[in-house]
Amino acid sequence: MNVSAFLDDLRMRFPNEPEYLQAVEEVVSSIADIYDRYPAFSNVNLLERLCIPDRIIAFRVSWVNDKGRVCNNMGYRVQHNNAIGPYKGGIRFHSSVNLSILKFLAFEQTFKNSLTTLAMGGAKGGSDFSPRGKSDMEIMRFCQAFVNELWRQIGPDTDVPAGDIGVGAREVGYMFGWYKKMTREFTGTFTGKGLDFGGSLIRPEATGYGNVYFLLNMLATRGIELAGKKVAISGSGNVALYTAEKLISLGAKVVSFSDSDGSIVCPDGFTEEEFREIFDLKTLYRGRIREFAEAHPERATYYNRERPWRHVACDIAMPSATQNELDGDDARALLAAGCFAVSEGANMPSTPEAIREFRKARILYAPGKAANAGGVSVSGLEMAQNSQKLKWTAEEVDSRLKEIMADIHSQCVQHGTDEDGYIDYVRGANTAAFLKVARAMMAQGVV
Ligand code: NDP
Ligand code: 2IT
- Whether 322 lines ligand 2, by a CB cut-off of 6 Å, is no
What pLDDT is recorded for position 82? 98
The CA distance from 333 to 438, in Å, is 38
Q: Which amino acid, residue 117?
A: T
Q: What mean pLDDT is predicted for residues 29-35?
A: 94
CA of 172 to the centre of ligand 1 (A): 16
- Whether 89 lines ligand 2, by a CB cut-off of 6 Å, is yes
Residues 215-252: tens digit of each pLDDT: 999 999 999 999 999 999 999 999 999 999 999 999 99
Residues 171-206: tens digit of each pLDDT: 999 999 999 999 999 999 999 999 999 999 999 999
Task: Check if 246 is active-site.
Answer: no
- Whether 82 lines ligand 1, by a CB cut-off of 6 Å, is no
Q: Whose CA is nearest to atom 10 of ligand 2?
A: 376
Give 73's strand partners: 61
Q: What is the mean pLDDT of the chain?
A: 98
Q: Whose CA is nearest to atom 33 of ligand 1?
A: 346
What is the model's pTM? 0.98
- Whether 166 lines ligand 1, by a CB cut-off of 6 Å, is yes
Q: Report phi then psi at 80, rounded to 5.
A: -85, -50
Residues 101-123: tens digit of each pLDDT: 999 999 999 999 999 999 999 99
- Whether 234 lines ligand 1, by a CB cut-off of 6 Å, is no
Given the CA of residue 347, which atom of ligand 1 is nearest to it? Answer: 32
The CA distance from 250 to 272, in Å, is 11
Q: What mean pLDDT is predicted for residues 269-297?
A: 97
Residues 402-432: tens digit of each pLDDT: 999 999 999 999 999 999 999 999 999 999 9
Q: Give percent of the chain above pLDDT 70.
A: 100
What pLDDT is recorded for position 230? 98
The CA distance from 68 to 302, in Å, is 38
The CA distance from 68 to 73, in Å, is 16
Closest alpha carbon to 162 in 204, 128, 197: 204
Q: What mean pLDDT is predicted for residues 424-446?
A: 98
Residues 35-69: tens digit of each pLDDT: 999 999 999 999 999 999 999 999 999 999 999 99
The CA distance from 175 to 143, in Å, is 5
CA of 37 to the centre of ligand 2 (A): 32
Q: What mean pLDDT is predicted for residues 129-145?
A: 97
- Taken as a whole, the chain contains a residue count of 447
Closest alpha carbon to 257 in 208, 213, 313, 300: 300
The catalytic position among 103, 124, 193, 369 is: 124
What pLDDT is recorded for position 1? 81
